[in-house]
A and B are shown apart, each in its own frame.
Chain A
Amino acid sequence: MTQRAQQIAQLDRVIHEPARLTIMLILEGVSEADFLYLQREGGFTQGNLSGHLAKLEEVGYVEIEKKFKGKVPLTVCRLTGKGEAAFAGYSQRMLGLLKSDGSAV
């Protein structure tokens, strides 16, 4: 196995899935966002988003909280410390891979 292949194999597969990567990208740029915002920004269906959020919550990258803004209930999602670290690591690996291959830029 070449070094590049090893690096690719080391990519976090939980994050690497396009829908979950979109969720992580959205949450990485904000403090917190609710279900509807994520759904609209990412272009997800409700079931699709629920499934991917459940997966991210299961591995501890995202925490989901039910809270109220005024009297309106919101399902609020945010990245955990573990999620931030995992995403930073994923970004670095991915950027390293793309930078080392000029054709990908």
Chain B
Amino acid sequence: MKNSSATPTASYGRRAASYWFVDGLPEILFGLALVIMAALVFLWRTCVPQPWIRFDLVIVAVGFLLYYGMERRFLDFLKSHVTYPRTGYVQPPEESPWRVPTLTTLSLRPDLPAKENVTLFEGRTMVLVFWFCCPFMLTADPLGRWVVPVLVPSLAVALYVVSRRSERPYRWWSALILALAGLAFIRVDVPAPLQRPLPLLLAGGWLLAQGAYTMVHYLRTNPCPRAAEGVRA
């Protein structure tokens, strides 16, 4: 074995649980989905002379449902081409909230068992974005020009707080950037068709940027895909 003194001290289970986020693909895909949804809402409101307001919500709700149903398939496909050939494949233990963790940890001061897995990205990020960005679409003009400056910083704080102890915490400065992006619209007069999809657009852009940053770092540190599958003795 090679010298592994520089290996981080987190347990193997926890490292496996955070491995899902190592390449930034979950953020990139979800960010892209949000940007597409925002674009569709914007197009709907620009192209249709008298748009039915609730249809915004229909577009976003259907978008979220489609994303929820197809996320794993897309991610598995992308990861099988980008991540698994570079750094391998691992499936963390599935977690059900009612299941008692059965992991044995060989330590007298055991690390916490791996509590997180891939599904928690949906719970901590997707659900929050949905609940922050969608309800205001039900009403015609709830907060007027204050929608973005109120909603986006609140979303940033919620994302930071909810995920700060997870395997994929958002950095405080990253959440601050999202909050400031929202606050910047206090002074900017946003055109009416863009007002409703703007929180989705900002959240999507933020996730895309974050995912892209992670991916660039990942590709730099793991440049060469393996030539051939490992051979067993």
Which residues of A are in contact with B by a Cβ distance under 8 Å?
A: 18-19, 22, 25-26, 28-51, 53-54, 64, 69-76, 87-88, 91, 94-95, 98-99, 105
Q: Indicate whether B25 reaches chain A with its CB closer than 8 angstroms.
A: no
Given A29-B13, A42-B1: A51 and B233 within 8 A (CB)? yes
B interface majority secondary structure: loop
**Which residue of A22, A88, A95 has the most chain B CB atoms within 10 A of its CB atom?**
A95
Tell me whether A50 and B11 are in contact (CB under 8 A): no
Given contacts A43-B4, A70-B76, A88-B104, contact A30 B12 (CB under 8 A): yes
Residues of chain B contacted by A51 (CB below 8 angstroms): 233
- CB B22 to nearest CB in A, in angstroms, measures 11
Given contacts A30-B90, A87-B104, contact A72 B11 (CB under 8 A): no
Interface residues of B (CB under 8 A from A): 1-4, 7, 11-16, 19, 76-77, 79-81, 84-85, 87-94, 103-106, 108, 114, 226, 229-233
Docked complex Cα distance between A22 and B2 (Å): 12
Given known pairs A50-B231, A50-B232, the reply for A69 and B89 (CB within 8 Å) is yes
With the chains together, A12 CA to B105 CA distance in Å? 17
| Contact B15–A53 (Cβ < 8 Å) | no
Closest residue of chain B to A54, judged by CB?
B233
Contact A22 to B1, CB < 8 A, known contacts A29-B114, A98-B108: yes
Among B14, B114, B230, point to the contact of A35 (Cβ < 8 A). B230
A73, A91, A105: the one within 8 Å of B229 (CB): A73
* Complexed CA–CA distance, A50 and B231 (Å): 7
Q: Do B91 and A29 touch across chains, with their CB atoms under 8 A apart?
A: no
* Nearest Cβ on chain A to B120's Cβ, whole angstroms: 15
**Chain A contacts of B94 at CB under 8 A?**
31
Contacts of A39 in B (CB 8 A): 88, 230
Q: Once the chains are docked, how many angstroms separate the CA of A97 from the CA of B143? A: 65
The answer to whether A72 touches B230 (Cβ under 8 A) is: no
Q: Do A29 and B103 have beta carbons less than 8 Å apart?
A: yes
Contacts of B76 in A (CB 8 A): 69-70
Q: What's the Cα separation between A50 and B92 when bound, in Å?
A: 22
Known contacts A70-B80, A73-B229: does B91 contact A32 (CB below 8 Å)? yes
B93 contact from A18, A31, A42, Cβ within 8 A: A31
**B-chain residues with CB within 8 Å of residue A95 when the two chains form the complex:** 106, 108
Q: Which of A41, A71, A75, A99 contacts B15 (CB 8 A)?
A: A41
Q: Chain B residues with Cβ under 8 A from A69's Cβ? A: 76, 79-80, 84, 89
With beta carbons under 8 angstroms apart, the residue of A74, A87, A88 that contacts B84 is A74
* Chain A minimum-CB-distance residue to B233: A50
Distance to closest chain B CB from A56 (angstroms): 12
Q: Which residue of B lies closest to A24 (CB)?
A: B106
**Residues on B with beta carbons closer than 8 Å to the beta carbon of A46:** 230-231
